[in-house]
């Protein structure tokens, strides 16, 4: 989620604005891939006698795909990608030329006095060393300034990308407005509030936004969580969209947890193995206290059947507790990682928009005035 990046896109540039826990934190370092989730052993299955749902067949994609953008917002995302790539390649070429020239000047300042005018004493050599030192300092300062400029360029791209995604998925689903920036994060306490990933050791997040959907307060953030993988170090236990909505329910302390099974790429929450399994179907598992089964009305059950995991939506978990509903939506890199060298594919954003509306409409069922 490998082909080499042209034009020095592998150049190492530190990004402080963009969270390091995401695969695209350094788009000019990474190779262009279709899958960037770490390859690791799948978590222990919830039911040992059942296999993950089959993966959808991969669609063959041309080496250099092109897409049609039937919406101005989607087109703006591709425009932002092209602009970033153009500016970065231009800057990379310029930096390469200046770096080569500067190195040649530094080398000449050292070699010319040393090899050609040695009979003139030490003064020419000192002059040469001084010139070389000044050149080296100048090159260091130039690279430092460029690193900052590179950060600004990629930050502009991140802002444009997330604005496009959120405008299309939220405003396109009837949300009047939303607030939040790419730099806005959530705390570890906020992520662990529903207790679904108690084993998480490190939480990364970005673009935490708040909005109102048909009178319901909501918050949405991109999140990534890692757990202790023993000899393998930290391993990923969640990557996706973390949606939080208000509800008007009263539950037991445990609350109700609903898990939608996914394919082999799904990162199944290990905590489900310790919960009380109330009932199951081929696609859905219900966990919690039997006293909370009353929340599963016919209307709710019918709505839950509209959730379908696929290649993009790896799996999904809903945790319902008093006053708040939590949605952990495990998404594939097609929506979680910014398009880099290849053109932006609008297909996945369109899918995401439809899926997000489904989850928001389900959340509304738990937010009805008594």
118-164: pLDDT as tens digits: 565 666 666 666 766 776 777 777 777 777 777 888 899 999 999 99
Compute CA 343 distance to the chain's CA centroid, rounded to the nearest angstrom: 18
The residue extents of the domains of the chain are 179-365
The pLDDT, as a whole number, for residue 357 is 98
The pLDDT, as a whole number, for residue 124 is 64
For 328, the enclosing helix (H) or strand (E) is strand 324-331
Nearest to 165 by CA among 367, 368, 338: 338
**Of 32-41, 117-126, 358-367, the least confident:** 32-41
Task: Provide the token pair at 142.
Answer: 């130039």
The pLDDT, as a whole number, for residue 31 is 40
How many Å apart are CA 78 and CA 92, to the nearest integer? 21
pTM: 0.80
326 DSSP β-pair partners: 244, 319
The pLDDT, as a whole number, for residue 158 is 94
**Of 98-102, 259-263, 268-272, the least confident:** 98-102
């Amino acid at each position: 989620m490998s082909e080499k990046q042209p034009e020095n896109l592998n150049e190492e540039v530190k990004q402080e604005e963009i969270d390091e826990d995401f695969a695209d934190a350094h788009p000019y370092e990474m190779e262009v891939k279709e899958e960037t989730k770490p390859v690791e052993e799948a978590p222990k299955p919830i039911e040992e006698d059942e296999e993950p749902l089959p993966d959808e067949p991969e669609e063959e994609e041309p080496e250099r795909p092109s897409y049609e953008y039937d919406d101005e917002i989607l087109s703006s995302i591709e425009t932002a990608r092209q602009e970033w790539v153009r500016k970065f390649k231009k800057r990379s070429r310029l930096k390469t030329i200046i770096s080569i020239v500067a190195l040649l000047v530094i080398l000449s300042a050292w070699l010319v006095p040393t090899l050609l005018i040695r009979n003139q004493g030490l003064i020419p050599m000192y002059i040469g060393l001084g010139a070389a030192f000044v050149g080296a300092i100048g090159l260091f300062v130039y690279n430092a300034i460029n690193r900052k400029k590179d950060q600004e360029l990629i930050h502009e791209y991140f802002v444009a990308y997330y604005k496009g995604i959120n405008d299309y998925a939220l405003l396109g689903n009837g949300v009047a407005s939303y607030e939040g920036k790419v730099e806005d994060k959530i705390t570890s306490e906020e992520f662990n509030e529903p207790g679904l990933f108690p084993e998480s050791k490190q939480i990364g997040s970005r673009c935490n936004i708040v909005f109102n959907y048909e009178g319901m307060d909501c918050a949405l953030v991109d999140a990534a969580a890692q757990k202790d993988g023993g000899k393998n170090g930290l391993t990923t236990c969640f990557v996706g969209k973390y949606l939080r909505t208000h509800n008007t329910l009263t539950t037991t302390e445990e609350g109700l947890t609903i898990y939608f099974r996914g394919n082999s790429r799904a990162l199944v929450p290990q905590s489900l193995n310790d919960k009380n399994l109330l009932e199951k179907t081929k696609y859905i598992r219900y966990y919690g206290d039997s006293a909370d089964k009353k929340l599963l009305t016919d209307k709710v059950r019918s709505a839950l059947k509209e959730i379908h995991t696929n290649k993009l939506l790896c799996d999904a978990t809903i945790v319902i507790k008093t006053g708040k509903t939590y949605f952990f939506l495990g998404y594939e890199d097609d929506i979680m990682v910014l398009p880099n060298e290849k053109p932006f594919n609008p297909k996945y954003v369109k899918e995401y928009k439809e899926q997000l509306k489904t989850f928001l409409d389900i959340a509304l069922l738990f937010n009805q005035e008594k």
